[in-house]
């Protein structure tokens, strides 16, 4: 297996933190891992072009050095929906460009963790959405559930859509993004009963999460769980 795709129930659900934790978990077992964020908006200008903070963290976490333009082929400065940012920049987000970058990264390591942008159905162009990427790259999907009020509806709808698009839902991670969430245990029990996919870990609320620490909260055999889909 060359990669997994990390999506989420919404923006700010913790996809990057979980992606970094997944990377750290495999690196601790001697696996050479790279991260990828094919599309990002809300970037900072730099002499080299727009740079996204999350993509830079994925680059830094990588087991080997990889060019930023492969890790984040499409980077836009405005913090708006990527298809709108792309249109304003006069750029078309193309699936072949993303696939070429993924193949280059995959050839250089053992595993690529590919992080989506926003939620599962975020548009990338008039004809392309985030939900098209895993199937095109032949990747199983890990769903990050941002544990907050409303997460049950968001998680169940996202899981239904993942399967409807023909992508395998390999597992899910619960990420507590609301420290005041009530009935947390009951919410997790409902997700476990209804998502019909293994829970790869539950991350408690943390103000300053660290990848190595979060990696220790993931199921130690999570890669073995998702490889059955490849």
Name beta bridge partners: 3.
112
Q: What is the largest CA-CA distance in the chain?
A: 49
Tell me whether residue 37 is one of the annotated catalytic residues.
yes
CA–CA gap between residue 225 and residue 198 (Å, rounded): 8
Name the catalytic one among 37, 135, 148, 165: 37
CA–CA gap between residue 131 and residue 134 (Å, rounded): 7
Paired tokens of 64: 């080997």
- Region of residue 134 (phi > 0: left; psi between -120 and 50: alpha; otherwise: beta): alpha
CB atoms within 10 A of CB 150: 11
Listed residue (32, 13, 14) closest to 24, CA to CA: 32
* Residues catalogued as catalytic: 37
């Amino acid at each position: 297996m060359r990669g997994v795709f990390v999506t989420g129930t919404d923006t700010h659900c913790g996809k990057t933190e979980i992606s970094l934790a997944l990377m750290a978990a495999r690196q601790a077992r001697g696996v050479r891992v790279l991260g990828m964020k094919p599309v990002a908006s809300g970037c900072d200008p730099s002499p080299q072009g727009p740079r996204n903070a999350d993509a830079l963290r994925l680059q830094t976490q990588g087991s080997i050095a990889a060019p930023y333009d492969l890790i984040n082929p499409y980077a836009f400065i405005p913090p708006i929906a990527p298809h709108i940012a792309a249109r304003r920049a006069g750029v078309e987000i193309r699936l072949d460009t993303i696939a070429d970058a993924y193949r280059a990264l995959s050839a250089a390591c053992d595993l690529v963790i590919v992080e989506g942008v926003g939620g599962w159905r975020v548009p990338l162009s008039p004809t392309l959405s985030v939900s098209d990427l895993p199937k095109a790259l032949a990747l199983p999907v890990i769903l990050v559930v941002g544990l907050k009020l409303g997460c049950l509806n968001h998680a169940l709808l996202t899981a239904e859509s993942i399967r409807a698009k023909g992508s395998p839902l390999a597992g899910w991670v619960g990420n507590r993004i609301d420290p005041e969430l009530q009935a947390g245990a009951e919410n997790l029990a409902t997700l476990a009963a209804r998502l019909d996919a293994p829970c790869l870990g539950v991350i408690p609320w943390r103000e300053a999460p660290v990848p190595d620490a979060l990696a220790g909260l993931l199921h130690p055999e999570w890669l073995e769980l998702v490889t059955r889909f490849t």
